[in-house]
Amino acid sequence: MSENLLLADEVAHALANEHAVVALESSIVAQGLPAPENLEVGQAMQTAVRQQGAIPAMTAVLDGRLRVGLSLDDMARLAASPEGRKCGARDLGSALALGLPGATTVSATVAIAAAAGIRVFGTGGIGGVHRTTPGAPAKTDISADLLAMSRAPVAVVSSGAKSLLDLPTTLEALEALCVPVLGYGCDQFPAFYTADSGLEVSYRFDDLAVLAEALRAHWSLPGSGGVLVCNPPPRETAMGREEVEALVRDAASAANAAGISGGALTPFILSHMRDASSGQTLRVNAALAVANAGLAGRLAVELEG
């Protein structure tokens, strides 16, 4: 194991004794949600994992180490740090060398989880291929999440990808990278705020034991990487497809008019959608993140059974 990894005592004990562990990202706490919801949701995700009999292992870069397992104080410190960076997998080495605190995204968490020997990761949604903005120069903007998932044998439990992305092309990229897209209790690829994307998953599973067996079989093949396990947003908070699409269009138009692009684009669009929906997108985000953590806990326990 890399000397840069620092596992919390309960995480190290669980892994040593083949007990279920679930990785969690910390960018949802540091950048993904506003205060005070960020820490509330982060803590609720950890609780959801524990309620299923697994140990939560939120990841981050702190004090020059890759941390695996954070306390509430650690999360608060990370969220409040003025030097805190949003770290993808490619940023981890530099953040470590420079001693910078860093909140981990999906790609970074997948890499850290694989290094620590953790097979299940619960998150809100993955990144993907961005849409081309009408009237703007054509360019390819692809999240590092996709490549990271293809490289590491980790099951990523998420509510698909956000509707602001080019979902058909995202699914094509996952297919090209040999990442299975499996639905748990769903036939459609979730579009984060809505369960209705009109796009099919590769296979549907309604029995968690059978899903766990599919993961074991996948990982038994040489060179196999990650798997995307899709869990729709909770019905009581999920939004309709047309409603979400209208919010995305309005937010994208506003971003284009304001000249927003690059790394600032997604935060702008999400903030615009949150305001335009009177906070409904924030409520869906929080609910699905906790639900996915709970399902990840169940899956991790099943895999160790």
Catalytic residues: 25, 162
**Which residue, among 161, 194, 206, has the nearest Cα to 179 in the 3D structure?**
161
Give me the helix-helix angle, 144-151 and 106-116, nearest 10°.
20
Q: Which residues of 116-140 are buried (b: 16+ CB within 10 A; e: fewer)?
A: bebbbbbbbbbbbbbeebeeeeeee
Using CA atoms, how far apart are residues 129 and 232, in angstroms rounded to an integer?
A: 20
- Judged on CB neighbours under 10 Å (0-12, 13-18, 19+), 27 is buried
> Which residues fall within 8 angstroms of residue 17, CB to CB, at 6 or more apart?
none
Is 31 within 8 Å of 37 (Cβ atoms)?
no
SS3 content of the chain, % helix, strand, coil (to 5): 50, 20, 35
